[in-house]
Amino acid sequence: MPVLTNVRHELFAQAVAKGAELVEAYEQAGFTRHEGNASRLRVDEKVTARIDELLREAAIVAGVTVERITQELAAIAFLDLREAADWGTRIVPARRASQGRKGTRAHVEDYLDLKPAKDLSPRVARAIASIKKGRYGVEIRTYNKLDALVRLGTQLGMWKDKDDEKSGADALVEMIVKAHQKATGNAAMAIEGETFR
């Protein structure tokens, strides 16, 4: 769609596409501030089509595609932390006393070793929200895996079944509960304080 012939409508569409609140965009376009009129202009067919076009153009320039969003969600949803760190228990050998230092006995200790950033694949690096030194050592925070799985499944249309009206997180929780029940034989499962049967 070409630029709107009404200059103020075009300015309004551009401001909305840039993220301005409707009433702010309405005022930036040269109109007197009025929430009702701003809302009515936003639903005008030509203005809506122009805003959609401007947003599509911005997405193309930014490289935002359905494929890229799917890849980003998949990176979060299927992150295996073993690709970013190694942890476990190891035996620390005894150390003899020497030069005024006390010796130590052999002992077992827990460890967490982060892999160097240069060794992380771009997919793994994108799934990590933050790594920082905390009070008790290194803290690794990833993006919400369950949320990414739900969003990915929703995007791919996986949650609606012909016979099932459930969708999104409800369907995923039900699938998890059924898998837990099958694996453990336990009829109930607790998730964050709620019990599912």
How much of the chain is helix, strand and coil, in % rounded to 5?
50, 20, 30
Strand locations in the chain, DSSP E? 85-92, 107-114, 128-134, 137-142, 189-191, 194-196
Give the pLDDT of the chain (197 residues) as one tens digit per residue: 789 999 999 999 999 999 999 999 999 999 999 999 999 999 999 999 999 999 888 888 887 777 888 888 889 989 998 998 888 999 988 888 777 778 788 889 888 888 898 999 999 998 999 888 888 777 888 898 888 888 888 877 776 655 555 555 566 666 666 665 666 665 554 444 444 44
Distance CA 105, CA 102 (A): 10
- In one letter, which amino acid is 20? A
Nearest one of 70, 69, 74, 66 to 123, comparing CA atoms:
74
